[in-house]
């Protein structure tokens, strides 16, 4: 193998490795927080307090929009533009809408 082939192989490995890593965001709302982990835009795992559950929705570089059901806490809806503190960002949980900030 020559030097150019080795460098191309390393670059390809780094690109593929970056695609496998999960993207993680943390969302704060009132006195709580949750974490959303995405292996790809539609495979979402949400961690809230002592539970985790798979969610239906999407997350990309700019927005997270999901619905998740926890055994103890019930259904939760989250919509937020990542990195922006906007009045439209919210978590809906236990019949209450709470302002959220995700980063």
pLDDT digits over 12-44, tens only? 565 555 545 579 999 999 989 999 999 887 889
Residue with token string 């979402």: 44
Number of H helices and E strands in the chain, helices first, is 1, 9
Q: What is the predicted pLDDT for the residue at 17?
A: 53
Q: Per the domain annotation, does 77 fall within a domain?
A: yes
Across 18-27, 40-49, 69-78, least confident range = 18-27
Measured distance CA(36)–CA(69) in Å, rounded: 13
Q: What is the mean pLDDT of residues 78-103?
A: 96
Domain membership of residue 98 (yes or no) is yes
Q: How many domains does the chain have?
A: 1
Domain housing 71:
21-102
Contact of 20 with 37, CB cutoff 8 Å:
no
What gap in Å lies between CA 53 and CA 20, rounded to an integer?
20
Q: How far is CA 18 from CA 15, 46, 64, in A?
A: 5, 21, 20
């Amino acid at each position: 193998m020559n030097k150019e082939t080795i460098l191309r192989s390393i670059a390809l490995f780094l690109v593929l490795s970056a695609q496998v890593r999960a993207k993680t965001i943390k969302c704060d709302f009132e006195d709580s927080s949750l974490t959303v982990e995405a292996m790809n835009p539609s495979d979402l795992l949400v961690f809230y307090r002592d539970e985790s559950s798979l969610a239906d929705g999407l997350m990309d570089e700019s927005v997270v929009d999901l619905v998740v059901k926890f055994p103890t806490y019930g259904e939760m809806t989250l919509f937020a533009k990542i990195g922006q503190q906007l009045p439209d960002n919210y978590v809906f949980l236990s019949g209450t809408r709470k302002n959220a900030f995700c980063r």
